[in-house]
Amino acid sequence: MINFQFIITSFPKIIGAIPVTLLMAFVSAIIGWILGLGIALVRKYKIPIISQICAVFVSFMRGVPMVILLYISYYALPIILYNYGTGIGLKIDINLLPAIVYAIITLTLGQAAYASEILRCRYD
Amino acid sequence: MKNTFRPETIPGYIPKILQAFPVTIEILFVSLIISLIIGVLVAKFSLSNEKWLKRIAHFYIAFMRGIPTLVLIFLIYLGLPQLALSFGINLSKISKITFIIICLSLGSSANMAEMMRTSYLAVDKGQREAAYSVGMKGFSAFYRIILPQAFTIAIPTLGNNIIILFKETSLAFSISVIDLMGKARAISSASYGANKLEVYIAAGIVFWVICIILENLSKFFEKIYTKSRRKVAI
């Protein structure tokens, strides 16, 4: 049977996590829309090469489920950062970055893709 | 930490992941059909003149759109059997795929209902009045005049909804169904996670290609349908 008492007692704990969710949503929405505006402008004025790269990026972001994007960014970004760091002679400790950073980066990029499509529609 | 990323191994994982393709397609098709059926009912309710039917439909749409599919999956997969057990019903024999199909159809039906409602309302009122004026009755006016036009309006949204639904099937991995995403996870954990990145990139490519195919199919149908409609209109 459902334990209603437990539902009530676990409410405050779940509500306590609202700031984390809202932080991810707001930060990624704001940066995502700014990036999206940039992508939309690039694609509107058809700047060579960058425009094509943006088109592929938008298509990829819209075509791949968020779960897979999160996995890819969580496993790929540390490698990219580390290689970049060793390339310029720095030792970057990736473990310092909390997981939420990867989540925000992924959500931002996803938001940018969707926002650029919305803005592009408005321009035409 | 060494650089263990080997991009050249990515193509090799794609056929392995595609072995799970039939499962994903099964989930997609069955939940698409069920969600369309539920969507028709909910759209009919929300367009009816009865106040309480309208309220039920609005509540249903708001609830299903407001709750993330992942939460819905956990609620129904983990919660429902427990609840049913207290009424003496044993749900443990129902397969996980059935649970996923139920969740995805419920979640998607709200989008489908909204799509049907808006495209129904987007048809000009004069069309219905014209149908009545030539002596058509309620159902045949709907079936022969309103529905074809509403369907044409709905095609792009329907395509979008199908793509969203297809992407949501990847959440089936959360209750360890072996669909495309679940297969990727299985491959990755079979090698103790040494090739995580390559496997997930391969899964991403698979999803991406299928999404592009679905998108082009939707554009193709849109073109065909609007063309044939135009010929009739002239």
Mean pLDDT score of chain A: 85
A29 pLDDT tier (thresholds 50, 70, 90): very high
**What is the dotted CATH code of the domain comprising B9-233?**
1.10.3720.10
Question: Does the CB of B202 have a partner CB in chain A at under 8 Å?
Answer: no
Q: Do A75 and B207 touch (CB under 8 A)?
A: no
Question: Chain A residue closest to B194 (CA)?
Answer: A75
pLDDT digits (tens, 9 = 90+) for A63-106: 898 888 888 888 877 777 777 777 777 766 666 778 888 899 99
Is pLDDT of B193 > 70? no
Q: d(Cα A100, Cα B203) in Å, to the nearest integer?
A: 23
B39 pLDDT tier (thresholds 50, 70, 90): very high
The domain locations on chain A are 19-123
Is pLDDT of B234 > 60? no
Whole-Å CA distances, A48 to A112, B37, B70: 20, 46, 40
Euclidean distance between the first and the last CA atom of chain A, given in angstroms as a whole number: 56
Q: How far is CA B230 from the centre of its chain?
A: 29
Closest CA to B84 of B95, B71, B94, B73: B94
Mean pLDDT score of chain B: 85
> Looking at the predicted complex, does its ipTM rise above 0.90?
no
Closest CA to B70 of A75, A21, A19: A21
Token code pair at residue A110: 């996803």
The domain locations on chain B are 9-233
Q: d(Cα B158, Cα B40) in Å, to the nearest integer?
A: 13
Question: Does the CB of B86 have a partner CB in chain A at under 8 Å?
Answer: yes
Q: What is the pLDDT of residue A94?
A: 65
Chain A, window 15-74: residues with a beta carbon less than 8 angstroms from a chain B beta carbon: 59-60, 62-69, 71-72
pLDDT digits (tens, 9 = 90+) for B152-178: 888 888 988 999 999 888 888 888 888
The fold adopted by the segment(s) A19-123 is: MetI-like fold (1.10.3720)
Nearest CA distance, A95 vs chain B (angstrom): 11
Is pLDDT of B8 > 90? no
Q: What average pLDDT does range A1-18 have in this prediction?
A: 85
